[in-house]
């Protein structure tokens, strides 16, 4: 479906992945986690660090405010770490690792990331305590039942995209060429761009 009906979306995701996937992979590898977990962020935000859901989930990994606060992320009028690609990835990797330590099953961990551990605990209990995603899946909320298959579908669509003549465009910057600068006073992008002689889009 993605490869036939959403070709422009796949090209856009492949292009963004050139920048974001190395960040994700470095953090996942550091924790000896499956690198395929990077596709979770594709489904969550379409790799848009400024994405905000109707429920208020924010950033690449779509953290809700309460969850982010509980995990220790900094959110003030000056910064929101949910929007920071590196920081949010570190928190998301730690969170997924924690969920995996509970269930011993990466697919259940991904489901809990989507629906919350409470809903997945109920599903596991309804499946006679078997901690296996495919056995517990029918007892999950409908949206969560679709969540893991969506991740698997987008993973295969992006992995095999070149066989369907879909290729990424060259991103404006490689992630190694971008610096993170913490600013302690309110500063408009327009003023910052003027100081650095850059376009506003290059700073956001």
Q: Which residues are catalytic?
A: 44
Cα(137)–Cα(145) distance, integer angstroms: 6
CA dihedral 42, 13, 197, 77 (to 10 degrees): -20
In sequence order, the β-bridge partners of residue 140 are none
Cα(6)–Cα(197) distance, integer angstroms: 37
Token output for 89: 């990835």
- Closest to 43 (Cα-Cα) out of 150, 145, 170, 188: 150
At 44, which helix (H) or strand (E)? helix 39-45
Cα(21)–Cα(17) distance, integer angstroms: 5
- Closest to 122 (Cα-Cα) out of 109, 105, 136: 136
For the chain, what percentages of helix, strand and coil (3-state, to nearest 5) are there?
A: 65, 0, 35
């Amino acid at each position: 479906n993605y490869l036939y009906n959403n070709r422009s979306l796949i090209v856009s995701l492949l292009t963004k992945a050139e920048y974001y996937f190395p960040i994700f992979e470095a953090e996942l590898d550091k924790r000896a986690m499956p690198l395929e977990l990077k596709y979770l962020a594709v489904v969550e935000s379409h790799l848009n660090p400024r994405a905000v859901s109707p429920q208020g989930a924010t950033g690449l990994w779509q953290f809700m405010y309460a969850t982010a606060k509980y995990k220790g992320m900094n959110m003030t009028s000056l910064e929101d770490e949910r929007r920071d690609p590196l920081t949010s990835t570190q928190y998301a990797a730690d969170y997924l690792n924690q969920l995996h330590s509970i269930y011993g099953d990466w697919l259940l961990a991904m489901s809990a990331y989507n629906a919350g551990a409470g809903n997945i605990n109920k599903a596991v209990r309804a499946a006679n305590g078997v901690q296996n995603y495919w056995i517990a899946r029918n007892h999950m909320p409908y949206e969560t039942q679709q969540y893991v298959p969506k991740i698997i579908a987008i993973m295969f669509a992006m992995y095999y995209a070149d066989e369907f003549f879909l290729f990424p465009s060259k991103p404006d910057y490689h992630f190694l060429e971008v610096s993170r600068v913490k600013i302690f006073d309110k500063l408009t992008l327009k003023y910052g761009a003027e100081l650095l002689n850059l376009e506003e889009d290059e700073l956001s």
